[in-house]
């Protein structure tokens, strides 16, 4: 089960040029936005990365606009764990449960999840907020991550898992987001 004080969200490489090529991109964008807005309400820390932004462009505006002071971490390694800036930021958060959304499922998401698992993190991949250019690549990657020990979840499942109870102002705010 996810726990508010142990969890962080990593949003991987949802950038302009590549994002437009994703399988079911509209659902990806919608669910990633719901997930980000929900964890912001719940005060879960978020790290956003960009793969080679010079070539792939910036994070899509729908995602970037959700952050008042948007500062994504640029990287060139497919795995976020291959970037020193990411490693420093993740260690500073002191969170051992990592939710992952982003693209591409079979490259950067997969390699990041496997590296985090190897480093002793609990990893939950948000299946309806990850994508690849093809459905096959997405499905193969989700299965491989599950085989490696990652949990597979959904946007709503993760948010309700973090909340635990159906009461209070945060529950009401998050419920409005997922409806």
Number of residues that this document lists for the chain: 179
pLDDT digits (tens, 9 = 90+) for 134-143: 999 999 999 9
- For residue 79, CA distances in Å to 13, 112, 168 come to 11, 4, 37
Write out the catalytic residue numbers. Answer: 13, 75, 108
Quick check: 103 and 130 in contact, CB under 8 A? yes
Confidence (pTM): 0.98
The per-residue pLDDT for 179 is 85
- pLDDT in 10s for each residue of the chain, 179 residues: 999 999 999 999 999 999 999 999 999 999 999 999 999 999 999 999 999 999 999 999 999 999 999 999 999 999 999 999 999 999 999 999 999 999 999 999 999 999 999 999 999 999 999 999 999 999 999 999 999 999 999 999 999 999 999 999 999 999 999 98
Quick check: 148 and 125 in contact, CB under 8 A? no
- For residue 113, CA distances in Å to 23, 123, 175 come to 20, 6, 28
CATH architecture of 7-178: 3-Layer(aba) Sandwich (3.40)
The per-residue pLDDT for 148 is 98
Secondary structure (DSSP) of 55-114: HH-SBPHHHHTT-TT--PEEE-SSSGGG-HHHHHHHHHHT--EEEEEEE-IIIIIHHHHH
Quick check: 93 and 120 in contact, CB under 8 A? no
């Amino acid at each position: 089960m996810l726990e508010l004080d142990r969890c962080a969200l990593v949003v991987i490489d949802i950038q302009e040029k590549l994002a437009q090529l994703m399988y079911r991109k509209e659902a990806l964008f919608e669910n990633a936005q719901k997930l980000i807005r929900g964890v912001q309400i719940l005060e879960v820390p978020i790290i956003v990365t960009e793969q080679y932004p010079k070539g792939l462009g910036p994070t899509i505006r729908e995602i970037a606009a959700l952050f008042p002071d948007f500062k994504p971490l640029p990287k060139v390694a497919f795995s976020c764990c291959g970037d020193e800036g990411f490693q420093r930021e993740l260690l500073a958060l002191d969170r051992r449960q990592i939710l992952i959304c982003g693209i591409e499922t079979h490259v950067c998401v997969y390699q990041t999840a496997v590296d985090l698992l190897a480093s002793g993190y609990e990893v939950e991949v948000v299946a309806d907020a990850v994508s690849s250019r093809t459905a096959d690549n997405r499905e193969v990657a989700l299965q491989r991550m599950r085989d490696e020990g990652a949990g597979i979840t959904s946007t709503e499942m993760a948010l309700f898992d973090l909340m635990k109870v159906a009461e209070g102002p945060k529950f009401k705010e998050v419920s409005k987001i997922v409806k």
